[in-house]
Amino acid sequence: MTRAAIPEKGRPAEDLLTEMESYGVDDVDFKGGRTWSMVYWAGDDHHAFLEKAHNLYMAGNALNPMAFKSLKRFEAEVVQMTASMLHGPESAVGTMTSGGTESILMAVKAYRDEARRKWPWIVRPQIVAPVTVHPAFDKACHYFGLQLKKVPVDADGIVDPRAMERAISRRTVLLVASAPQYAHGVVDPIPEIGAIAARRGLPLHVDACFGGFMLPWLERLGVQMPTWDFRVQGVTSISADLHKYGFAAKGASVVVYRDMDHLRHQFYVSVDWPGGIYASPSMAGTRPGGAIAAAWAALMVMGEDRYMEHAEAAWDVAERLRAGIDAMEGLRVMGRPMSTIVTWTSTEAGIDVYAVADQLVSKGWSVDRQQKPPSVHLTCNASNAEAVDTYLADLKEAVAHVRAHPELADEGEAAMYGLMSKIPIKGLVAPAVRQVMEQMYAPGALGTPDLSEGPAAPEGALGKVQKIAEDLFRRWNRARSTSKVVRP
C-alpha cells in the first residue's frame, strides 16, 4: 500500500468535499435510527444550527481566557447552567472538557492531588467503586498511579452500599458511583453511598457522563430513581457530557465540583518555563473554541422545554423496547427501568447472544455487545422511534434463526466474543485486543480491520483474533488441569 502524502498542489475544495462525503457511505446509519450508541441526533435543523455556532468560534483557543473572553464567558455559563440543573449550591464551580473520559481523568487527578495534601503518608491511593463503573476510571488510575478497588453488583447491576463501605481501607481517597452505569442503565444507590462518604470524610464523584442531561428530565416525568445529584450531601463532584443528551457538538463535557476546595487541585501551573507562565484548567493545552461555543448554543436553543420533549420520546422508545423484548421467549431485559438504556440477554441455552448480534448486524443494525453476562446494549434516543418496530421484528427473527442453528455460535464475531468471554483471567485477552489495535494503527493502515471475515479467512483480523483466543483458552485449560493457575 502506498503511503499517503501531502499533495504537491492543493486540490479543488468542492472536489474534496464530494470525496470526503463518499467516505462515509459505510458508516453507521444514525439518522435512520439503526444506531444505539455513539451519536445523539436531534435532527437536521439542530445539526445545521450547531455547525454555524461552532464555526463562529472554530479558530478560537480557550487556552488563554484573557485573549478569548467570549469563550471564557461561554464556558462559565455552561458550567453554571449545568450546576443549576444538577441542584448545585451557589459555590459550585467547574470546567468544560473534551468529553466524559477527560472529565473523569480530571476528577481523579484532582482528588489524588487533594489526597496528597491531606494524607501525604498514602503511597498508593485507592478508589472504591462498583464493578460497573466506566473504564475511564481504570484509565485514570493507570495514568495517575492509583488503585481501583471494584465492588460486585447483583443480578440487576446494583451495588450494595455496605459492600462498598467494607471495601474502604486506609488508602481510600475517593468513592465513585454512576448515574446511571452504562452496562445496565441503573442508577447506583447514591444517597446511601453519599452518607458513607460523609461519615468517612471521603469525597464522592458521581459519573453522570451518560445521564447528566437526561435523568433530570426523566425525574420530572415521574421516572423512579434514587436521588443522585448535589441534593445528596456527600456528593462532591459530578461529570456530565454535553455531547450526549445535551445534544451539543463533540467533544464537550463538564466536570462540576461542589466548591473551589476540590476544583483547585485540577489545575496545572508552571512558572519556570522560558516561554512564560503556563496555566491550564484541564488536560488539554489548546482548547478548541468551537466545541465550547456550540455547547453554550445547544443549551440555549434547546431549553428545558425541548429537553423534556426529547427525554419523553427517548423514554417511550426504551419502554417499547423493554415490553417487546420481555415478551420474547428466551430473552429478558436486565436492570431496572431508570434510564434510557435497555440491555437484553438470553435465558435459553440454545440462544447465543453473540450469534443473535451477528444476525442483527447482517440486517443493517449497529450492535453493542457486552459481557458478564453476554448481552446487547441499546442507548435510546427520540431518533430511534421509527425504528423500534423494525428492530423488534428483526430481533425476533434473529432469535428464531439462532435457536434453529446453534452452530452459528461458532461462526463470525460470535465465535470471537464467545471465546473471549470464556477466558477467566481477562488479562490474557489483552494481547489479542492489542494485536487488533496494532493493525488499526500500523504504518499505512487507512481503515479498521475487517471483522466480518470468518475462520475461512485466517489472515483476516477476526481470524487472527480467534487463533489467539483459542490458544489462550487452551493454555488456560492446560494450566488449570495441572493446578498451575488459581481462579481469581
Distance separating alpha carbons of residues 62 and 240, to the nearest angstrom: 20
Distance separating alpha carbons of residues 322 and 319, to the nearest angstrom: 5
Domains of the chain: 53-299 (3.40.640.10), 413-481 (no CATH)
Task: Per-residue pLDDT tens, the chain, 488 aa: give them.
Answer: 577 888 889 989 999 999 988 988 877 777 777 788 888 878 899 999 999 999 998 988 788 877 888 999 999 999 999 999 999 999 999 999 999 999 999 999 999 999 999 999 999 999 999 999 999 999 999 999 999 999 999 988 999 999 999 999 999 999 999 999 999 999 999 999 999 999 999 999 999 999 999 999 999 999 999 999 999 999 999 999 999 999 999 989 999 999 999 999 999 888 888 988 888 888 888 888 999 999 999 999 999 999 999 999 999 999 999 999 999 999 999 999 999 999 999 999 889 999 999 999 999 898 999 988 899 999 999 999 999 999 999 999 999 999 999 888 877 665 555 555 555 555 556 666 666 666 665 666 666 555 444 433 344 444 555 555 556 555 555 554 554 443 33
Nine-digit cell at 298?
445547544
**What's the confidence (pLDDT) of residue 87?**
97
Using the CB atoms, write b or e for 95-129: b if 16+ within 10 Å: bbbbbbbbbbbbbbbbbbbbbeeeeeebeebbbbb
Q: What is the DSSP string of 403-460?
A: HH-GGGGGSHHHHHHHHHHH-SSGGGTHHHHHHHHHHHTSTT--S---TT--TT-TTS
Q: What is the phi-psi region of residue 173: left when phi exceeds 0, alpha when psi lies from -120 to 50, beta otherwise?
A: alpha
**What's the confidence (pLDDT) of residue 83?**
96
**What's the confidence (pLDDT) of residue 456?**
38
**What's the confidence (pLDDT) of residue 38?**
81
**What's the confidence (pLDDT) of residue 86?**
97
Residues with Cβ within 8 Å of residue 355, at least 6 apart in sequence: 402, 408, 409, 411, 412, 414
**What's the confidence (pLDDT) of residue 484?**
44
**What's the confidence (pLDDT) of residue 450?**
54
**What's the confidence (pLDDT) of residue 39?**
84
Q: How many CB atoms lie within 10 A of CB 157?
A: 22
Distance separating alpha carbons of residues 472 and 480, to the nearest angstrom: 12
Nine-digit cell at 337?
427501568
